[in-house]
Structure 1
Amino acid sequence: MEDLNEFLSKSKEWFDNLVETIRDYAKKYKESEKWFSTTLSSIGDAVIATDKLGNIQFENPIAEVLTGFKQEESIGKPLEDVFHIINEDTRKSVENPVLRVIREGIIVGLANHTVLIAKDGKEIPIADSGAPIKDEKDNIIGVVLVFRDITERRKAEQTLRESEHNLGERVKELTCLYKLSKLVENPDISFEEILEGTLDLIPPAWQFPEVTCARIVYEDEELRTENYLESIWKQKSNIKLKGEIIGLLEVNYVKKMLDFDEGPFLKEERNLINGITEILGRFAERRMAEQKLKYEKEKAQTYLEIAGTILLVLNPDQTVQLINQKGCEILEEDESEIIGINWIDNYIPENNRELIKKEYNRFINGEIELFEYTEEPIIKKNGEKRIIAWHNRALKNVDGEIIGSLSSGQDITERVKVETKLMESEEKLKNFMEAATEGFLIYDSELNLLEINDSALKIIRMSREDMIGKHILELIPGLDKTGRYNAYLNVIKTGEPFYADDVIQLPKFGGIHLSINAFKIIGGLGMIFSDVTERRNAEQKLKESEKNYRSLFENMTSAFAYHKI
């Protein structure tokens, strides 16, 4: 009996412990269930749990909001009655993800473009995944679905796609403008080639290249893309040169497209077509300016080449930047042999080289002004010297800084030789005039007295100061009434000499008789005269003697005849 009581006592204790353990497990299970429920209800994604038959066992608040069904309504219902999903593009129902999870036993996700149809018919783009719920024996006892509203993400993705598309369109437009700008930078390309290149760039730059065509009308020409068709869907922009319309660019769509800002065209395409015509207009203006500049350069080059003087441009370091054909001819070298070499080192005589270098450097540094006119020798490669008369001026940049010199030079070597000989001749003439006993006068082409020798001054009894520089009519008033004035002018004009043997000078010259010989000289008139007063007096006395003798003879003859009678 005691053994039974002890057994019952121990059994009751064991049973009480078992009940307590069961109660602890039940409490922990409830707490665990509540914890999981609270956790699932608190997460930011929608959660639906089903049994292995696909009937809903749990739905968190986010799932309630998205599906439109409260948990109380959903519990026990098949998933597809609450979680109705379709493909956004095909509008067909999407396979129940629970069935696939149970069938494949793996975690699965919904395809892209899946839309949840809520209780009120609202369509919500979602992304989800489904995972199997397994017991301790790895048997699937249910499925949990986790999904979220991706409306904002889809909007962001759409915005991104639109931005990428728009960016792509802008890149196309900028590429078009960039390629066109590179095209017009080619100095050897013709305007027609520019226009043809522009037509090639247009279709890829527009939003719908496959239906884009274009044409350009320029002056009397019209160029078209190969696929050009007339259309009512077109954009136009004028090509202008200094405000005057010189052409037209027209872009057409060969079929109707969606309407945007300007019919089927974007406002950016309006900016693009205007940008293209602006570039073409600027190119036309630049090409016209280049052609004008080329013409002016060619004209200037022609002047340089036909100029009868050397034209020489020196850099600050004394090297030759430019020399014309005349300069090359005088130096007897090709232009390529002269350009870039130091002018002073190669063409200035050695004895004068260092001084000219020093003075040129001072000029470049702004210390002295450039001599406007100089006569300097240059030396050719063969050692021959030529005398050049230089007219010089400074070359300056826009800031007024000296950047070199421009000189025009005339070869006066032969002139200098002639002048030297002339000086020698003049010296000889001067010596001759001083030694001559006859009077010697030199007049210029206007008959102003330039020179008179001492013998002439003695003959006419005048001082040099009273005569030099005066006109012949001032020296001899009334000469123009005698005929000799015109005779002297005729000598200068024709070169035919004039001779007068008995010229009676004015009383201020002593009333003497002169023998005058006038002849042409370079630049004027030369005159040699002699005092023939004594000769004329002797001749006069001789005539008078002859007259007296004749009269005496006649008287004697008459007397003799009378005597005979």
Structure 2
Amino acid sequence: MKKTNAPTDNLAEKYFNIAEVILVVINADQTVDRINQKGCKVLGYKEKDIVDKNWFDNFIPEALRKDVKAVFDKLINEKIKPVEYYENTVLTKNGEEKIIAWHNTILKDEKGKIVCTISSGEDITEQKNTEDELKLRSEITEQVKVSVLTTGLDFKINWVNQAFNALYGYSLDEVIGKTPDFLNSEPLSDEIQSDIYQTMFSGEAWMGEVMNRRKDGTTFLCELDIFPLKDKNGNIFAYAGHQHDITERKQIEEEILSVSNIPAENPNPVIRISSDKTILYANDSFNKLLTNAGLSEKDAIKILPDDLYRLIDIALEEGKPHIMIEAKAADRVISYNIIPIMEQGYVNLYGRDVTEHNKLERELKDKVKDLEKFYEMAVGREVRMKELKNKVKELEVRLSKYE
């Protein structure tokens, strides 16, 4: 086992063996002069099965072998300058390919001729696969129909998706570096923004309805959901929010109210239930829900909100409505508003199909989780790469006295 080209001292030798990164010395003839324990573990071989073997013929995938060898030969013959950092694939004992992030240096003899390379590497296979997956998910997030933006801790916008552009008319270049309050057209916008900031500082989410302004000057009623993004330790590292144009929804709600006295003309499900829990009336839209679920009117409670009877009692007692209470009817999700009609002693249930709305909300929540994971991974990788560079520089200093 030859170990002649890369002299060591005891301290450097100790570091070489216990380092949590791959350390490998490759001679000018392409054979492995030394490799540490971490390198052996990643490759799946014992040290004796790696040292003196041609690195490229044995530990580089065949498809890459010719090109990587050619680059190494040019480096040894000083036809190209050393590259301090690069990523390539190695081949393990069981045939698995792993992606390694390498940091490199060269050693020369007393005549100035390159005699070997010293490389430190980190297995980033899983990280790369995660990045590819997150990139795909990020592209999907770009395609979702819900407007999304993110900001730094200074509340300045650093990313928006395509749905934001469609909703507001602004591109990313036009809004990056701005705070989102420039979109607010509420008369009390300063007070609202102050409330949002205070809520974010407390680590909580803020939800509300505000009047927003598009690039073309038109305004619309916007439902905002703003929340902090936290790492696995619970530390806030960014903020995100999504925006819904609820103008149409509000119009529908007004239409529902306008036909509340003539429920037969309401295009959405309407049911009237007395204080003794008798169904007094159900319009055609509700009867269609029953039919689709394979139920008769006597089984109507099966597609109405849980705990409905208790909610009816409370509504009639307090004279106050209960809103946005969901129930499933076959493959549809219906959101009901329970409106008490005190004089007659019954309640009207006004329903709205929210199946697609809920689906979009779930999709958005998944994308937000992806964003959190992406930010955390990006920050972690940057720290790890700095640590790796520092370790390589430390080793280079210890070995430089032998050049």
| TM bucket, shorter chain | 0.5 to 0.7
- What's the secondary structure of 1:457's corresponding residue? helix
C-alpha distance in 2, partners of 1:397/1:351? 33
C-alpha distance in 1, partners of 2:122/2:197? 39
C-alpha distance in 1, partners of 2:42/2:244? 50
Q: Which residue of 2 aligns with 1:401?
A: 113
Change in Cα spacing, 1:444 to 1:349, as seen in structure 2 (3 Å) is farther
- The answer to whether the 8 A contact 1:479-1:485 is kept is no
The structural deviation recorded for 1:537 is 7.3
TM-score, normalisation: structure 1? 0.38
1:531 aligned residue (221, 245, 252): 245
| Residue identity matched to 2:69 | K
| Residue identity matched to 2:170 | M
**Counterparts of residues 28-427 of structure 1 (less than 5 Å):** 297-427=9-139
- The answer to whether the 8 A contact 2:32-2:55 is kept is yes
Change in Cα spacing, 1:329 to 1:536, as seen in structure 2 (3 Å) is same
C-alpha distance in 1, partners of 2:88/2:38? 17
C-alpha distance in 1, partners of 2:100/2:214? 52
The structural deviation recorded for 1:511 is 4.6
The structural deviation recorded for 1:397 is 2.4
C-alpha distance in 2, partners of 1:327/1:454? 44
C-alpha distance in 2, partners of 1:530/1:473? 16
C-alpha distance in 2, partners of 1:447/1:326? 43
Change in Cα spacing, 1:325 to 1:439, as seen in structure 2 (3 Å) is same
- What's the secondary structure of 2:9's corresponding residue? helix
Where structure 1 has 5 or more consecutive residues not aligned to the other structure, the ranges are 1-293, 547-565
The structural deviation recorded for 1:355 is 1.3
**RMSD of aligned alpha carbons:** 3.5
Change in Cα spacing, 1:405 to 1:428, as seen in structure 2 (3 Å) is same
The structural deviation recorded for 1:389 is 0.5
| Residue identity matched to 1:376 | N
* Pair 1:504 & 2:218 matched: no
C-alpha distance in 1, partners of 2:224/2:107? 58
Change in Cα spacing, 1:316 to 1:468, as seen in structure 2 (3 Å) is same
**Counterparts of residues 424-503 of structure 1 (less than 5 Å):** 424-431=136-143, 433=144, 436=145, 438-444=146-152, 447-472=155-180, 482-491=194-203, 498-503=205-210
- What's the secondary structure of 1:484's corresponding residue? helix
Change in Cα spacing, 1:539 to 1:421, as seen in structure 2 (3 Å) is closer
TM-score, normalisation: structure 2? 0.52
Change in Cα spacing, 1:331 to 1:507, as seen in structure 2 (3 Å) is closer
C-alpha distance in 1, partners of 2:137/2:82? 35
C-alpha distance in 1, partners of 2:31/2:164? 58
The structural deviation recorded for 1:350 is 0.6
C-alpha distance in 2, partners of 1:377/1:354? 13
- The answer to whether the 8 A contact 2:99-2:124 is kept is yes
The structural deviation recorded for 1:354 is 1.3
Q: Which residue of 2 aligns with 1:240?
A: none
C-alpha distance in 1, partners of 2:39/2:153? 35
C-alpha distance in 1, partners of 2:59/2:121? 14
Change in Cα spacing, 1:357 to 1:461, as seen in structure 2 (3 Å) is closer
* Pair 1:514 & 2:204 matched: no
| Residue identity matched to 1:352 | L
- The answer to whether the 8 A contact 1:519-1:526 is kept is yes
- What's the secondary structure of 2:81's corresponding residue? coil
The structural deviation recorded for 1:536 is 5.4
Where structure 2 has 5 or more consecutive residues not aligned to the other structure, the ranges are 1-6, 232-236, 261-403
The structural deviation recorded for 1:518 is 2.6
| Residue identity matched to 2:174 | D
The structural deviation recorded for 1:399 is 3.3
The structural deviation recorded for 1:481 is 5.1
- The answer to whether the 8 A contact 2:148-2:243 is kept is yes
Change in Cα spacing, 1:541 to 1:430, as seen in structure 2 (3 Å) is closer
C-alpha distance in 2, partners of 1:358/1:507? 57
- The answer to whether the 8 A contact 1:461-1:510 is kept is no
- What's the secondary structure of 1:424's corresponding residue? helix
- The answer to whether the 8 A contact 2:142-2:162 is kept is no
C-alpha distance in 2, partners of 1:309/1:471? 42
C-alpha distance in 1, partners of 2:60/2:153? 39
| Residue identity matched to 2:18 | I
C-alpha distance in 1, partners of 2:41/2:228? 37
| Residue identity matched to 2:224 | I
The structural deviation recorded for 1:405 is 0.8
Change in Cα spacing, 1:361 to 1:456, as seen in structure 2 (3 Å) is closer
Task: Count the aligned residue pairs.
Answer: 243
Change in Cα spacing, 1:419 to 1:458, as seen in structure 2 (3 Å) is closer
The structural deviation recorded for 1:473 is 6.1
| Residue identity matched to 1:468 | I
The structural deviation recorded for 1:463 is 4.0
The structural deviation recorded for 1:534 is 5.5
- The answer to whether the 8 A contact 1:467-1:475 is kept is no
The structural deviation recorded for 1:419 is 0.8
Higher Rg: 1
C-alpha distance in 1, partners of 2:157/2:99? 32
The structural deviation recorded for 1:512 is 3.3
The structural deviation recorded for 1:413 is 0.7
Q: For 1:142-201, what per-residue CA distance to the aligned partner results, in whole angstroms no more than 9, with x for missing partners?
A: xxxxxxxxxxxxxxxxxxxxxxxxxxxxxxxxxxxxxxxxxxxxxxxxxxxxxxxxxxxx
Change in Cα spacing, 1:374 to 1:455, as seen in structure 2 (3 Å) is closer
The structural deviation recorded for 1:467 is 1.2
The structural deviation recorded for 1:329 is 1.3
**Identical pairs, percent:** 32
- What's the secondary structure of 1:353's corresponding residue? helix
